[in-house]
Amino acid sequence: MKHQMETEILKAEVLIEAIPYIRRFAGSIVVVKYGGSAMVDENLKKSVIQDIAMLKYIGLKPVVVHGGGKEITSLLDRLGKKSEFLDGLRVTDEETAQVAEMVLSGSIAKALVDELEGVGIKAVGISGKDGRTMLCSKKLDEKGRDLGFVGQIDKVDTSLLDTLLANNFVPVVSPVGVDGMGNTYNINADYAASAVAGALSAQKLMFLTDVEGILKDKDDPASILRSLNKGQALAYIADGTIKGGMIPKVQCCIDGLEKGVESVHVLDGRVSHAILLEIFTTKGIGTMVTDKESV
Ramachandran sector of residue 172 (left: φ over 0; alpha: ψ -120 to 50; beta: rest): beta
Please give the Cα distance from 242 to 235 (Å, whole number). Answer: 9
- Which of 21, 46, 157, 251 binds ligand ARG (CB under 6 A)? It is 21
Asked if 62 is part of the footprint of ligand ARG (rule: CB under 6 A), the reply reads: no
Burial of 229 (0-12, 13-18, 19+ CB in 10 A): middle
Asked if 198 is part of the footprint of ligand ARG (rule: CB under 6 A), the reply reads: no
Asked if 287 is part of the footprint of ligand ARG (rule: CB under 6 A), the reply reads: yes
DSSP 83: P
Shortest gap between Cβ of 175 and ligand ARG (angstroms)?
Answer: 25
Residue 182 labelled as part of a binding site: no
Are residues 64 and 170 in contact, defined by beta-carbon separation less than 8 angstroms?
yes
- Which of 67, 227, 261, 271 binds ligand ARG (CB under 6 A)? It is 227
- Pick the piece of the chain touching ligand ARG (CB under 6 A) from 29-37, 182-190, 241-249, 275-283: 275-283
Among residues 165, 192, 170, 155, the alpha carbon closest in space to that of 33 is found at 192
Asked if 226 is part of the footprint of ligand ARG (rule: CB under 6 A), the reply reads: yes
- Pick the piece of the chain touching ligand ARG (CB under 6 A) from 99-107, 125-133, 154-162, 273-281: 273-281
Shortest gap between Cβ of 19 and ligand ARG (angstroms)?
Answer: 12
Residue 188 labelled as part of a binding site: no
Residue 229 labelled as part of a binding site: no
Residue 270 labelled as part of a binding site: no
Helical H runs in the chain?
2-25, 42-58, 69-78, 94-101, 109-118, 159-166, 189-199, 230-238, 246-258, 274-280
Please give the Cα distance from 260 to 288 (Å, whole number). Answer: 15
Q: With CB under 6 A as the rule, give the number of residues binding ligand ARG.
A: 11
Burial of 43 (0-12, 13-18, 19+ CB in 10 A): exposed
- Pick the piece of the chain touching ligand ARG (CB under 6 A) from 52-60, 135-143, 183-191, 283-291: 283-291
Shorter beta-carbon distance to ligand ARG: residue 3 or 23: 23
Please give the Cα distance from 69 to 230 (Å, whole number). Answer: 29
* Chain residue at closest Cβ approach to ligand ARG: 284
Shortest gap between Cβ of 236 and ligand ARG (angstroms)?
Answer: 16
Helix axes 189-199, 246-258, angle to 10 degrees: 20
Q: Which residues bind ligand ARG (CB under 6 A)?
A: 21, 226-227, 263, 278-279, 281, 284, 286-288
Known binding residues are 68-69, 90, 186
